Amino acid sequence: MKKIGIIPNLEKDKDLVITKRIIQHLLHRGCMPQLTEKVADIADLEMYARRESELYQYSDFLISLGGDGTLLGVGRKSAPYETPILGINLGTLGFLTAEEKNHAEYAIDQVLEGKYKIEKRIMLESSIDTGEQRIHGILALNDICITRGLLYKILEFNIFINEEYVDTLRADGVIICTPTGSTAYNLSAGGPVLKADAEIMAITPISAHTLTSRAIVISADDVVTVEIKPREDADFTVSADGQDAWTLTGKKVIQVKKSKQYASIIKTNPQSFYDVLRQKLAR
């Protein structure tokens, strides 16, 4: 019996209508649904409750119900266990999701019948040197962003690649992204679209104050170091996938490199990367 973890976005599936529909379908297919204790309590389905860590570790695969943001959170938590994720889109764009909600059962059946492929997506690992301590193990599937505080217009920072000085930028911030994250904030900031399975990263300034500051593409094996030099008492934010964030002040050093962990994304749709890109960005 396959154990299938279901992680819904409670804002997009408020009454858990889709979650319960999928549970019934999994039971019909002879599978064992698994829910976090919180979701099981809300749905009054305590018999399917599991500790969150157990759900991510022991499920045969996970179903992410929501948008890309939901899948990003699931991806960071599931990566240590290499548990694959099937994304069902309840949002708008849905670059990472395999199917729309009206075709959820079809996508699940495809997986159960072995008619799918798994895409391994590189992830980023970051650390922050605050001078007094070092924050380790910040994991991101999309990007690590360094952005200015609300009260100050620009940041000044030095960029190093493999300890080699690249440039000093004055900008609202900088994005270091994976190919997965290249169609997110990076794209809005004027950065390049990277093919999803490529082993590369992009460094993209946000609203740079010089005409010569442009995004650059580097190898995923490179190590990026950003030395922040904010104005006195100015604050700035370091965020991972726009979900985990640290607000800091003073001179800080942020290091970003490829993680040893990969996110495993299930694809049931035969569309190519370029098909999806053309379809989603045409909306």
* Annotated catalytic residue, options 13, 68, 143, 172: 68
C-alpha 74: how far from chain center: 8
Q: Which two tokens stand for residue 137?
A: 């193990």
68 as an active site residue: the answer is yes
Tell me how far apart the alpha carbons of residues 72 and 143 are, in angstroms, rounded to a whole number.
Answer: 10
Angle between helices 104-112 and 17-28 in degrees, nearest 10: 30
Q: Residues with catalytic annotation?
A: 68
